[in-house]
């Protein structure tokens, strides 16, 4: 299996632009998570999907952030408009079953820089 | 409010010596604890875990200790190897039976450097 696939790996954009991050979970996994990593706060959960349905989006910073999962093999995280403080590494992870099983498989991340 | 804290941003150790990474938590509802390891340009990978009903779990060179009364856990790596150089994240999971459905809360991470 190819593991969790994320694209792009790096994104540099100007403040105010729309940014879309993409994730393909491991085939057969039915839970998907988006995390953000910063130096100050470490890894923070942004949103959790189970069977393509958003279960918990309490970690989404504000209305500028939105996430979708139109099918079991694809999810997007969109930031519109982007701001410099959104600069971080964004990880997608997937797992089997509902909720947080012991092993979440992480993708390589997307490093976002907003200038 | 940071419920899981790793107060040491970095740790430097000589090859062959013991590495001790520490983690403190504040939420008494946490019942399961995990350590993840992350290399540059890669996502975190699961390393070792411990249930709150235990105080120690060992897997090869890696041992995790849990002190519930102190709300503290630590990861010991013996002997340390240069390939262990990575960022280590501590994570905690709340009781799955509650409304939190077992959400993982991560610490900020500790950068471990093992010198040859």
CA distance A93 to B83: 24
Instruction: Find the helix or strand (DSSP H, E) in which B57 lies.
Output: strand B56-59
Cβ contact, residue pair A44, B2, below 8 Å: no
Angstrom distances, CA of residue A78 to CA of A10, A18, A60, A64, A86: 15, 7, 11, 8, 11
DSSP helix/strand/coil, B86: strand
Q: What does the pLDDT read at residue B29? A: 86
By Cβ distance, the residue of A42, A100, A107 closest to B93 is A100
- Number of alpha carbons in the 13 Å side-chain half-sphere of residue B59: 10
Q: What does the pLDDT read at residue B103? A: 74
Q: What does the pLDDT read at residue A2? A: 80
DSSP helix/strand/coil, A85: helix
Q: pLDDT-derived band of residue A62, with 50, 70 and 90 as boundaries?
A: confident
Q: What does the pLDDT read at residue A81? A: 96
pLDDT tens digits, A4-44: 999 999 999 999 999 999 999 999 998 899 999 988 888 99
Q: What does the pLDDT read at residue B78? A: 98
Residues of A near B (CB-CB distance < 8 A)? 4, 9, 35, 37, 39-45, 48, 55-56, 91, 93, 98-100, 102-109
Report whether B109 contacts B5 (CB < 8 A).
no
Q: What does the pLDDT read at residue A102? A: 55
DSSP A86: G
Report whether A43 contacts B106 (CB < 8 A).
yes
Instruction: Find the helix or strand (DSSP H, E) in which B23 lies.
Output: strand B19-25
Residue of A100, A108, A109 best to disrupt the B interface, most CBs of B under 10 A: A100
Q: What does the pLDDT read at residue A30? A: 87
Which position has the higher pLDDT, B93 or B56?
B56
CB neighbours of residue A104 within 10 Å: 26
* Beta strand spans in A26-115 (E): 31-38, 42-50, 53-56, 65-71, 74-79, 88-95, 105-106, 110-114
| A101 has pLDDT over 80 | no
Report whether B94 contacts B87 (CB < 8 A).
no
| A98 has pLDDT over 70 | no
Cβ contact, residue pair B102, A55, below 8 Å: no
* Torsion angle (degrees, nearest 10) of CA B38, B41, B43, B45: -40
pLDDT tens digits, B3-24: 999 999 999 999 999 999 999 9
Point out the least confidently predicted range of A50-64, A76-90, B65-79.
A50-64
Q: What does the pLDDT read at residue A97? A: 67
By Cβ distance, the residue of A42, A56, A91 closest to B109 is A42
Instruction: Find the helix or strand (DSSP H, E) in which B10 lies.
Output: strand B10-14
pLDDT tens digits, B65-116: 999 999 999 999 999 999 999 999 999 988 655 544 667 889 999 999 999 9
| Over residues A62-70, mean pLDDT | 95
| Over residues A68-88, mean pLDDT | 96
Residue from A11, A72, A70, A65 nearest A34 by CA:
A65
């Amino acid at each position: 299996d190819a593991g969790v696939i994320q694209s792009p790996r790096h994104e540099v954009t100007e403040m105010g632009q729309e940014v879309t991050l993409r994730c393909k979970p491991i085939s057969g996994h039915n839970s998907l998570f988006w995390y953000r990593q910063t130096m100050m706060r470490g890894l923070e959960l942004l949103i959790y999907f189970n069977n393509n349905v958003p279960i918990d989006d309490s970690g989404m910073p504000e209305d500028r952030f939105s996430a979708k999962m139109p099918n079991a093999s694809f999810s997007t995280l969109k930031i519109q408009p982007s701001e410099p403080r959104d600069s971080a590494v964004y990880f997608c992870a997937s797992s089997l079953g509902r909720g947080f099983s012991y092993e979440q498989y992480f993708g390589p991340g997307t490093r976002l820089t907003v200038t | 409010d940071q419920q899981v804290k790793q107060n040491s941003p970095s740790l430097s150790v000589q090859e062959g010596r013991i590495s001790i990474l520490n983690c403190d938590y504040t939420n008494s509802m946490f019942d399961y604890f995990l350590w993840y390891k992350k290399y540059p340009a890669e996502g975190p990978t699961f390393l070792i875990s411990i249930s709150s009903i235990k105080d120690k779990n060992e897997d090869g060179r890696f041992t995790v200790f849990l002190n519930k009364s102190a709300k503290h856990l630590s990861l010991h790596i013996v002997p340390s190897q240069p390939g262990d150089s990575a960022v280590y994240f501590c994570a905690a999971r709340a009781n799955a039976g509650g409304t939190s459905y077992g959400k993982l809360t991560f610490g900020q991470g500790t950068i471990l450097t093992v010198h040859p």
